[in-house]
Amino acid sequence: MKYLFAIFVIFSVILSSCTPVVYRNLAECNKNDVEIFKDITTILMQNNFVIKNANENIGYLNAEIDSPPLVAGTFGAKMIWDFNIRDGKITATYKSLMYETNRLGNVVSTTDPRYGSDEYNKGDKSYWNVRNSIEKVCNSRIVVVKEG
């Protein structure tokens, strides 16, 4: 029984160390939620993001850019924005993940997502263009909060 408990503890420590660090982008806007939703949708589309999921009623928006591999059997990348909009407050996460394709172009593996932060995304235009545009539209600074 003592060994079973020790194995459980070790397994729990390993699992908890695999939890990704998530960075949330927080902003406040002096507009109603419908206006914010439309503004963010426009910003994303202007930056070549494809809207994958959008529900104005609950204030949820998901968009991504897919940079497929140039040659089958190599890596591609996907950049994803998720937004929650409620009571003039925006909570957003940005993540990127790499994926590998086989010779037929089928995805055979993916990496764990990397959650974006100001430090991590220094040269990433798809992060900064959207982030800066939201700050302009809302006329407020985005605060990045680390979780996990």
Residue 32: the pLDDT is: 94
Residue 12: the pLDDT is: 46
Mean pLDDT of 131-139: 93
The set of residues, in sequence order, having a beta carbon less than 8 Å from that of 122 and lying 6+ positions away, is none
Task: State the Cα–Cα distance between residues 106 and 35, nearest whole angstrom.
Answer: 39
Mean pLDDT of 77-81: 90
19-147, CATH topology level: Double Stranded RNA Binding Domain (3.30.160)
Higher pLDDT, 111 or 56: 56
Q: Tell whether the model's pLDDT for residue 45 goes beyond 80.
A: yes
Domain layout of the chain by residue ranges: 19-147
Each residue of 21-39: pLDDT tens digit? 778 888 999 999 999 999 9
**Tell me, what amino acid is at 4?**
L
Q: Locate tokens 């949820």: which residue?
A: 60
Residue 101: the pLDDT is: 82
Collapsed DSSP state (helix, strand, coil) of residue 61: strand
- The DSSP line for 108-124 is EEEPPPEEP-TTTTTT-
Q: State the pLDDT confidence band at 16, using cuts at 50, 70 and 90.
A: very low
